[in-house]
Amino acid sequence: MKTIVRFALLLIALAILPASSGLAAGPPVPVPNMVTMVDLGANACIPCKMMAPILTELEAEYRGKAAIIFIDVWQNPEEGKRFKVSLIPTQIFFDKNGKEVFRHLGFLDKKAIVAQLAKMGIAQPAATGGK
């Protein structure tokens, strides 16, 4: 039942938001010739907010090795349709050729993301910063 309610809320939000709000200029998704993890969510979504600092850390740690990208599907509903998002957050992992190799629905912790990237041949870089 919760899934149906969440899906209905997502559909309502996508219908209400203006379709003209485009994706900020950035790399194409998936990034050509690079393993890419895209997190499709919304800045106002609680699990998405919980993932935000994790994605920031991963983006810095994997810079130049793998692309870590967040797309707000409430601000960019065409991206939600493009990636067939039915629940947020949704994480999609693409190989270097742009082929989807793994999809996860809901919150995904850092350990699980790092493990999936490792399965795809991207070793975890040495931690940066004071943690």
- Position 22 scores a pLDDT of 36
Query: For residue range 67-87, what is the model confidence (pLDDT) as tens digits?
Result: 999 999 999 999 999 999 999
Q: Is residue 90 part of a domain?
A: yes
- Position 128 scores a pLDDT of 56
CATH number of the domain at 66, please: 3.40.30.10
Query: For residue range 87-117, what is the model confidence (pLDDT) as tens digits?
Result: 999 999 999 999 999 999 999 999 999 999 9
Q: Is residue 82 part of a domain?
A: yes
Distance CA 16, CA 10 (A): 10
**Number of structural domains the chain divides into:** 1
Catalytic positions: 45, 48
Q: Is residue 52 part of a domain?
A: yes
Q: Is residue 89 part of a domain?
A: yes
Q: Is residue 128 part of a domain?
A: no
Query: For residue range 16-45, what is the model confidence (pLDDT) as tens digits?
Result: 333 333 344 567 999 999 999 999 999 999
Which strands sit side by side in the sheet containing 36-41, from one edge to the other? 67-72, 36-41, 90-94, 100-105
Q: Is residue 124 part of a domain?
A: no
More confident residue, 6 or 14: 6
CA proximity to 45, closest of 92, 3, 102, 107: 107
Q: Is residue 92 part of a domain?
A: yes
Residue type, 39: D
**Angle subtended at Cα 18 by Cα 16 and Cα 23, rounded to the nearest 5 degrees:** 125
Host domain of residue 81: 2-119
